[in-house]
Amino acid sequence: MNDTPPPNPQTDDGPINYPSLMVRGGIGGLLMGLANLVPGISGGTMLLASGIYPRFIRAISEVTRLKFRVPSLSVLAVVGGAAGAAILLLAGAVKGLVVDHRWVMFSLFIGLTLGGMPVVWKMLRPATTAVWIGAVIGFSAMVALAFVQAGEPSGGAGGGWILMVIAGMAGAGAMILPGVSGGYLLLVLGVYLPILGAIDTFKDALTARDLGAAMDPALGVLLPVAIGVGVGVVVVSNIVELLLEKLPKLTFGSLLGLLSGAVIGLWPFQQGRAPEIGQTVRGQVMTPELIEALEPEKYPVEFFTASGVQIAGAVGLIVVGFAATALLARFGAAAED
């Protein structure tokens, strides 16, 4: 007679509802992929909102410690696959919408970002002094980052191998930390558009079956970025898991501050403006030829006075974005019960 009890897959959080886990992982991964396409919104925020964030962090931490379990591998496969598909299929469309309809998209992003705050608040209750200290630290960091990035074009001048590794680490950390926008960090480092351009060049070269043309972006940009992403995922995920275990109040308070501060840099009423002759953009003095060759997404950004219709539309889009993330968070919470 076999007295071995039947299998009952568990995690530290209790029994696993696999169908729900896969659905939330797919939705969270899709939203994370979309979020990582645009400066100002965090992929980690979308994972928080979908209710998959704690399991995602645990899964990465386990795999980096060579602990391979079906739940962790399943979460990583679903989230990673959905995020990759979103980036590949929707990058061009999202980029075009942001360039041509910035205030519309930024209003929606504000709502999506704010919708993640109730999720974090629920995790950190009851609030303590450590929570508020963390919130101030997180908020201040995002405000400082917003001021550094303010007025800069959406592109950059590129950089060397080491800078690309650092960019990959920053992007990976931003994917894991809710409230931190990978696009923001890449903009500050000046490598946002160079990385996107390298991806496009690499894809075009592969499509044309020109391996020689594919080697330059692959070795000069994509390889060091991939190395940085790998290092960043391993280091940041384990640090976050440790902080959540040892200093949960301070950590979640910081995440709350990061979320609230992220919207500062998403002020919707801003637009790209073609530079003037003699103006310096990313270290280059503009000439008529350079201005003519400059793509719209690389224009410097300036604020403008919104009309009544635009203000009303922005408020409506913020409400829609908040409601969408809040409903997703409610779905995730219900699935965990």
In a domain, 215, yes or no: yes
In a domain, 153, yes or no: yes
Contact between 175 and 44 under an 8 Å Cβ cutoff? The reply is yes
**In angstroms, rounded to a whole number, what is the distance separating the alpha carbons of residues 211 and 141?**
42
| Residue showing tokens 């979908």 | 50
In a domain, 265, yes or no: yes
CA-wise closest residue to 169 among 221, 218, 216, 234: 234
Contact between 47 and 28 under an 8 Å Cβ cutoff? The reply is yes
Over the stretch 214-267, which tens digit does the pLDDT of each residue have? Answer: 888 888 888 998 899 888 888 877 887 788 788 889 988 887 887 788 777 778
Q: What is the mean pLDDT of residues 315-324?
A: 90
In a domain, 296, yes or no: no
| H or E, element range at 15 | strand 14-15
- Helix, strand counts (H, E) of the chain: 15, 6
Residues listed for the chain: 337
Q: What is the mean pLDDT of residues 2-30?
A: 61
**In angstroms, rounded to a whole number, what is the distance separating the alpha carbons of residues 206 and 216?**
12
**Which parts of 177-210 fold into alpha helices (H)?**
182-189, 192-207
Residue 270: φ, ψ to 5°: -140, 155
In a domain, 131, yes or no: yes
| Residue showing tokens 């999202």 | 94
pTM above 0.85, yes or no: no
β-sheet bridge partners, residue 272: 301
Q: How many domains does the chain have?
A: 1
In a domain, 284, yes or no: no
Range of the domain at 82: 11-269+305-336
Q: What's residue 55's pLDDT? A: 84
Over the stretch 38-49, which tens digit does the pLDDT of each residue have? Answer: 665 667 777 876
In a domain, 5, yes or no: no
Over the stretch 153-206, which tens digit does the pLDDT of each residue have? Answer: 444 445 578 888 888 888 787 777 766 667 667 766 767 767 777 777 887 888
| Residue showing tokens 């994972």 | 47
Over the stretch 105-161, which tens digit does the pLDDT of each residue have? Answer: 889 878 877 877 787 787 778 889 999 999 999 899 878 877 766 555 444 445 578
In a domain, 186, yes or no: yes
Please tell me whether residue 160 adopts helix, strand or coil conformation: coil
